[in-house]
Amino acid sequence: MSKEVRVRFAPSPTGHLHIGGARSALFNFLFARSQGGKFIVRIEDTDQARNVEDATEKLMDSLKWLGIDWDESMDIGGPHAPYRCMERLDIYESYLQQLLDEGKAYYDYMTEEELQKEREEQLARGEAPKYSGRDRDLTPEQRKAYEDQGITPVVRFRVPEGQSVLVQDAVRGDVTFETEDIGDFVIARKDGIPTYNFAVVVDDHLMEISHVIRGEEHLSNAPRQALVFEAFGWEKPMFAHASLILNPDRQKMSKRDESIMQFVEQYQELGYLPEAIVNFLALLGWSPVGEEELFSLEELEHQFSLERVSKAPAVFDTDKLAWMNNQYVKEADVERLTKLAIPHLQKENKLPATLNDEQYEWTKKLVSIYQEQMHYAAEITTLTELFFQREITYNEEAKEVLSGEQVPEVLDHFSQELEDVTVEPEEIKAAIKATQKATGQKGKKLFMPIRVAVTGQTHGPELPQAIALLGKSTVQARLSEAVKQ
């Protein structure tokens, strides 16, 4: 095996990029970059029944959105092409035949009904279900008899009896499995297509993969894969199984769990920033040196190490993610945020499908006054509701503000001051100051009635900016309505 660090992310094209898969991809990418190695993306598409059309493209697009690039894959090629498993069937076939010829694999003719009955009988006896080995040592005559009945076999790996399988794990240390608990496993289906646990070993060997970094849920696959490596006499890669990711209730995350968004594309659609998602995922099971929590991708590349990957489960804290994304939103270019926010406002029919220059600049100013508050771009629709309401409904707190005896005078004077100014923030500040001078009111007795009358809220964005965006006619109409109230 090459001494160069070579790692891979090998997803199955069964849907969108899951946050667990994204973390595995990120850990592999960061480790490769930290070691000056290579990061390979390979598509494990041998389970044809579960493959989803266009899933590969969506997976790759999500990785690119996160800023994760690769050194070898289907799109850019590489010295170990092809990088899609279904295009490597002829390669697998020769290695399958080698194991069959050496007696390390064999044909199994048991039907699904027979296997199911066998499993049920084992469970009834209180045993863990595993293949009994019925067809382990068939004679040529017995095989022919099955084939004459039209039964198509699978290929099973012959698991050595009474042995221990050592898996060296950079996160968990040495992990030992007993072969008596494994049972002979299928390495090629009836249609001749290899199963994951066989194909992945052949590919990892031929692509010179040095480290296999993935989630803990794959730990049970490790002994099977280790046995296949040993059967060929190949050097095993170093494994590294990162911790489980738990949902906010500290339960094992399930793809059927609807209490949490689990796919990268969902966060992209809501207007999260990719650098925040990367930062958050990196801290799911990896700890940096020190107390700092905010890291750029480049900083993560320099800091990442397998030694600081944890065995303890990581909790996917949605509040923490929203907080972290807000930190990035605050520092983001307002032009970028505006482009993320516009589709959400258009979806709610708050903006036209096509914006002219004036409308775009207005929207940019709108986004800028909520930049500090936004956790993600889609929030702009609720944060800015007051700018798109035709009528304001005052809550009890607002009504109490408007009930002050000084309110009619303050609102009336402010309305008069607005008549002679252009609606720009500096001129609005001057109009408020003139109102203060004319009425003798100041502080909350001055500002709060104007804010409530104009926005319907007792708190919100800077008042001059809000009034400038609402426009003179809207503000005057709201002031008049508030006096009536």
Distance between CA atoms of residues 186 and 197, nearest Å: 9
Distance between CA atoms of residues 392 and 481, nearest Å: 9
Beta bridge partners of 110: none
Short-list 71, 69, 67, CA closest to 278: 67
Distance between CA atoms of residues 149 and 127, nearest Å: 31
Short-list 432, 442, 419, 435, CA closest to 465: 432
In SS3 terms, 428-477 reads as HHHHHHHHHHHHCCCCHHHHHHHHHHHHCCCCCCCHHHHHHHHCHHHHHH
Active site residue 255: yes
SS3 482: helix
- Catalytic site residue from 117, 255, 330, 399: 255
Contact yes or no for 187/225 (Cβ under 8 A): no
* Cis-peptide, bond into residue 82, ω within 30° of zero: yes
In Å, the largest CA–CA distance within the chain is: 110
Catalytic residue set? 255
